[in-house]
């Protein structure tokens, strides 16, 4: 193109910009087939044998037998989220895979649900698998089953449960714990029936309440469910060194010794002069 001497600088710049724009259109058109397809995304609920998949469960997506996406469960029974900046299961593919089935695997088991690869599409999809395996059997042991309050009991989980995904202790008075081998202190007298529930991918099981813990009142050393003259005598004997080793359960004033002060305290409690030990 011939530019006359009368052509202004502004007109020259306009011509240059037009040429660059036309070149960009040509390059984009020729390279359009090389641009990768947009991925598609999924989020929703995920269950294993009817229960929510535990945190850490991996969900893998496949197209044509090749892995095209992965996400890890970070909230029990949920994967991904529809919120704007939250993570989702991103599945990638190519143009010729548009409409191909997307297969999902959880713990190596194929999910009952499938999807189709649709570039740029984000959707809610609940996933579920049924996984074969041994069902759990809950069982536990205790280091002691009776004593005076406060009674500290050590529980040990000896359940027959492969790949445990959850456990919950109920100590019989309303308090619970997810700890594997907890230590619990019973402060009030009574009879308690602790239970343990264990869970794995095949289901859950709870112990039947047949193992009881009996807690006697504080100061009831002869275990007859009351503080009487026998208990007063026991503490008096302990305080003067007639009981070896020293029974620190009789240290009612918390000074690390059993002495006349403790003997006096249980005596005053016995005759009703003080309300508690």
Angle between helical axes of 260-270 and 229-239 (0-180°, round to 10): 170
Predicted local confidence at residue 211, as pLDDT: 87
Asked whether residue 233 falls in the same domain as residue 201, the answer is: no
Predicted local confidence at residue 89, as pLDDT: 97
**pLDDT band at 36; cut points 50, 70, 90:** confident
Query: Per-residue pLDDT for 6 more than 60?
Result: no
CATH code at 190? 2.60.40.10
Query: Per-residue pLDDT for 22 more than 60?
Result: no
Domain-terminating residue out of 129, 155, 179: 129
Q: What is the pLDDT of residues 67-89, one digit of tens each?
A: 999 999 999 999 999 998 899 99
Rounded-to-integer distance, Cα 253 and Cα 243, Å: 18
Q: Give the domain range for residue 242.
A: 229-270
Q: What is the DSSP string of the chain?
A: -PPPTT--HHHHHHHHHHHHHHHHHHHHHHHGGGSPPPPEEEEEEEEETTEEPPTT-EEEEEETTEEEEEEE--BTTEE--SSTTS--EEE---GGGTT-EEEEEETTEEEEEEEE--TT-EEE--EEE----PPPB--EEES-SEEESSEEEEEEE--B-TT--EEEEE-SSS-EE--SS-EEEE-S-EEE--EEEEEETTEEEE--S---EEEEPTT-TT-SSS--HHHHHHHHHHHTT-SSS--GGG-TT-SSS--HHHHHHHHHHHTTSSS--
Q: How many domains does the chain have?
A: 3
Predicted local confidence at residue 119, as pLDDT: 94
Task: Compute the average pLDDT of residues 214-242.
Answer: 95
Bridge partners of residue 205, in order along the sequence: 198
In a domain, 238, yes or no: yes
Query: Within a 13 Å sphere around the CA of 105, how many CA atoms are in the beta-carbon half?
Result: 12
Task: Compute the average pLDDT of residues 188-217.
Answer: 92
The pair phi, psi for residue 267, each rounded to 5°, is -65, -45
Domain-terminating residue out of 170, 190, 216: 216
Predicted local confidence at residue 92, as pLDDT: 96
In a domain, 82, yes or no: yes
The pair phi, psi for residue 115, each rounded to 5°, is -140, 180
Asked whether residue 239 falls in the same domain as residue 159, the answer is: no
Q: Which of 47-51, 103-107, 149-153 has the lowest mean pLDDT?
A: 47-51
Q: Which of 135-149, 200-214, 246-260 has the lowest mean pLDDT?
A: 200-214
In a domain, 98, yes or no: yes
Rounded-to-integer distance, Cα 263 and Cα 65, Å: 79
Predicted local confidence at residue 35, as pLDDT: 64
In a domain, 146, yes or no: yes
Domain-terminating residue out of 74, 109, 129: 129
């Amino acid at each position: 193109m011939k530019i006359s001497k009368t052509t202004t600088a502004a007109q020259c710049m306009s011509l240059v910009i037009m040429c660059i724009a036309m070149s960009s259109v040509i390059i984009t058109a020729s390279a359009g087939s090389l641009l990768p397809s947009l991925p598609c995304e999924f989020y929703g609920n995920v269950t294993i044998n009817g229960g929510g998949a535990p945190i850490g469960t991996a969900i893998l997506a496949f197209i044509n037998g090749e892995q095209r996406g992965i996400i890890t469960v970070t909230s029990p029974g949920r994967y991904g989220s529809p919120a704007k900046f939250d993570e989702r299961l991103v599945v990638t593919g190519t143009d010729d895979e548009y409409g191909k089935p997307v297969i999902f695997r959880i713990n190596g088991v194929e999910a009952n649900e499938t999807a189709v690869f649709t570039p740029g599409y984000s959707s809610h999809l609940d996933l579920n698998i049924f996984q074969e395996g041994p069902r759990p059997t809950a069982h536990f042991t205790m280091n002691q089953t009776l004593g005076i309050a406060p009674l500290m009991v050590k529980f040990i989980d000896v359940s027959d449960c492969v790949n445990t995904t959850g456990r919950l202790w109920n100590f019989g008075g309303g308090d619970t714990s997810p700890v594997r081998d907890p230590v619990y202190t019973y402060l009030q007298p009574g009879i308690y029936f602790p239970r343990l529930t264990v869970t794995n991918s095949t289901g859950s099981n709870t112990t039947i309440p047949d193992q009881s813990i009996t807690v006697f009142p504080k100061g009831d050393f002869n275990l007859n469910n009351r503080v009487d003259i026998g208990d007063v005598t026991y503490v008096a004997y302990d305080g003067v060194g007639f009981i070896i080793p020293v029974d620190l359960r009789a240290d009612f004033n918390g000074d690390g010794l059993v002495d006349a002060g403790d003997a006096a305290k249980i005596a005053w409690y016995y005759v009703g002069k003080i309300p508690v030990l």
